[in-house]
Structure 1
Amino acid sequence: MEFSLCCQMMGNQDEWMKYELMAIQRSSHLRVIGGGLLTTVKLAQSLAYMKLCLGNLPLSIQLGYRAHEMCVCLKKPKLDYLVLCMLFKALFLSIRYQDCVQVLSWLEQLAVVEETIIGMACFFSYCLELLLYVGFSFKSFKECLEFIQRNEKNCILMSQNSIMLGLYSSLAIWFARLQQWGNFKEPFEKARRLLRRTSTSFFATSGFCRFLECEILMLRKHIEEKPELVRETRTKTLKEWWFTAKGPMEDLWLKAAPDFPKWKIGMTEKDFPEIHKTKYLLRVPALDINNPFPEPEIPDV
């Protein structure tokens, strides 16, 4: 399965499908007890990850739930932690927020019982993801911030570049959205220093994307503060991104922060009928789409 994943990452479709099929066929001969069952769990976990990378979210979720059930039966918390992290991402991308909350509760319980700092870091990273991109809280921003400040010097956590990149970038995004630029600088700089040290992976991609949003928010600030310099940055990117909408859109995320509605275990989407209204809307400087960079008017002499 590891070689199959390597082939998948390299874009060699024939090879990855060949070895994936071989692994599945071999697993059918395993005895569903002891080591054979553990091998089956690892196969399900690997397949769930590969399907997640390919964007096959329904299959990844199905495999993830099966792997979680087997991890619980076998009492394999370390493997279960990997499964739950993967399952959360698949559910989050599928907009299944009720199930996301359930998986988060399992992950928190597992991390507390096993006293794993990496598990807790992933848990708080996902809590921040819900705050930033969905608009409800499972843990408040204050709790997330306190966890990071309390544990950022932990030697185990310091070795997890992709997790820390996501955590620091999330803090920077929060402060940037709220225009708290004094608080923004420190987590942004810490995230920037981690960029080159972070290996590429599916989970690291989330941290890279959050850091990119930080830079976009900084660019917006630059344009708002110095509109006279916009003409000097007439790049293709700006021409594609910045345009005038038909009318201003009210950003209820900013109005809700930091006191977002709390989603508790047992609640359903019916308890949040207007949850979509608290999603963040990136406000950008208004430019005329037909003439985004007009020439300055020369006064009559």
Structure 2
Amino acid sequence: MTALWEFLVEPLRMEFMVRAVATTLIASVVCATLSCWLVLIGWSLMGDAVSHAVLPGVVLAYIAGAPFAVGAVIFGFAAVALIGLVRNTSRTKEDAAIGVVFTTMFALGLVLISITPSQIDLNHIIFGNLLGVSRADLAQVAVLGALVFTVLIVKRRDFTLYAFDASHAHAIGLNPRVLGATLLGLLALTAVVALQAVGVVLVVALLITPGATAYLLTNRFSRMLLIAPALATVCGLTGLYLSYYLDTATGAMVVLVNGVAFALAYLFSPSQGVLPRLVKHRSTAAARG
């Protein structure tokens, strides 16, 4: 028991680890909650687009001496607007518009990084620097996370109805376009929250994997909203501790543990798992035979 207590407490004796734990908890809960709607609507690729498109905004914010979140939010909204503009004013389909916009903006960010004299390593924005989160960064994550989470909880019924049946939502007086635009705006803000934890490249994993895992474990959306944040929190803390003791990349380890959780749900979920369905199929075939 003493050894387990020391295992849990030792990292928390250092202030940077306390900030890392707090950032991981906030990012995990907020991303996982939003991921339930992203998975349900089918916006996984949109999450990828927005998370990559914020990179030039972060670099430009650094050049201007402004908070990273300001540039990231501006470019996140700009990416959403550009995707909609290209899709609605040309023959380009949505997936192609997303691919063009996010790869172009991500490439712009990489170019800006390559030509920007910097006293800090801007590559941390790409790959994450969870152990380097400052007090100001944590405060920023906490404010944005609280804002996104509050809106998601307050409007959860409207968002859920929009996800299941936008036509019915319109019929009862809701505006599907406004709801969709609100979700996309929250997606841009959430990408900024997760960026502090795992970097631009891996943000999409936190935005999709928890919801996809919960989707395999339950058929009720209300339960998804509980399972996804709980799983993401456990996976986030597990990844953080493993990275500390194994001396590995922190953000990548957090994402890897989330991926392992999805794999376990994919294989062993009582209702949707591959192995239980295989056993059931064989039992049915044997009974008929």
> TM-score normalised to the size of structure 1?
0.29
Using the size of structure 2 for normalisation, the TM-score is 0.29
Which is helix-richer, 1 or 2?
2
Larger-Rg structure: 1
Taking CA–CA contacts closer than 8 Å with sequence separation of 6 or more, which of the two structures ends up with the larger relative contact order? 2
